[in-house]
Amino acid sequence: MSFTEKEDPKTLVLFDVDGTLTPARLTISDEMTKTLEKLRRKVVIGFVGGSDLSKQVEQLGPNVLEDFDYCFSENGLTAYKKGQELASQSFINWIGDEKYNKLVKFILRYLSDIDIPIRRGTFIEFRNGMINVSPVGRNASTQERNDFEAYDKIHHVREKLVDALRKNFADFGLTYSIGGQISFDVFPTGWDKTYCLQHVAEEKFEHIHFFGDKSYKGGNDYEIYSDPRTIGHAVNSPADTIKILNEIFKLDEVTI
């Protein structure tokens, strides 16, 4: 499964999803879709996000497996190349139920003791390659997510919980990555977004670009953004992503 149909088959461009290709938890715009169509004629493209594939389908559309050359869900623990599924990994098999139960009981007890303005539902979401922890709950509406994000910037709710987990579970070999507006991911150390790079190694790409909005230390794009195998581009919105893509790859010259 090579990429010889591309103008430059030795360049790969990878994208974070939330805040990079789409507004947080919202859907992809027509402008971004057209930009990616143009880009895909020139180079190989893919996305890498912490969410599972079903959430990425909600945001990027029902044909994501056809619209991207690589699709990396849960940081690449579930992976597709040209629509074909690659080998996957499992968080629960790695950690075991005994340690997992200790971790979950601590998180739920901690969340029950803190004071925040609102709570909704789904405070821990179990995924194939990680768990996602949300103090306000993943069932929060878009406005409630915006409100919690603003509250968290002042009170550092997620940051304090992550610090408590690092202190109490130092021997578990876990990494905690704050991303999006309302939550953070918990996964085995090394299972951050750089995990996806093993799936592309065989292609021997000469250039791997990565675009992400959480590229600061502690953000869930930091590891892959700063990895020596990638050329990192920090963005602050999907519009910023489009602007930089046009500048680098001269997409105005491409007709579709």
Overall average pLDDT of the 197-213 stretch = 97
What gap in Å lies between CA 2 and CA 191, rounded to an integer? Answer: 26
What gap in Å lies between CA 10 and CA 205, rounded to an integer? Answer: 5
Q: Give SS3 for 71.
A: strand
Provide, rounded to the nearest whole percent, the portion of the chain with pLDDT above 70: 100
Q: Is the pLDDT of residue 248 over 70?
A: yes
Task: Give pairs for 89-97: CB < 8 Å, separation 24+.
Answer: 89/128, 89/129, 89/191, 90/128, 90/129, 91/127, 91/128, 91/129, 91/130, 91/131, 91/187, 91/188, 91/191, 92/126, 94/188, 95/172, 95/188
Overall average pLDDT of the 122-135 stretch = 95
For 98-129, give one letter per residue: b (16+ CB within 10 A) or e. Answer: ebbeebbeebeebbeeeeeeebbeebbbebbb
Q: What is the pTM of this model?
A: 0.85
Pairing of strands 70-73, 78-81: antiparallel
Instruction: Give the 3-state secondary structure percentages of the chain, helix then strand then coil, rounded to 5.
Output: 45, 20, 40
Give the pLDDT confidence score for residue 123 in this predicted structure: 98
- pLDDT tens for residues 182-193? 999 999 999 999
Q: Which active-site residues does the annotation give?
A: 16, 18
Calculate the alpha carbon distances from 213 to 23, 35, 241 in Å.
11, 18, 9
Calculate the alpha carbon distances from 217 to 171, 177, 194, 224 in Å.
22, 9, 14, 11
Give the pLDDT confidence score for residue 89 in this predicted structure: 87
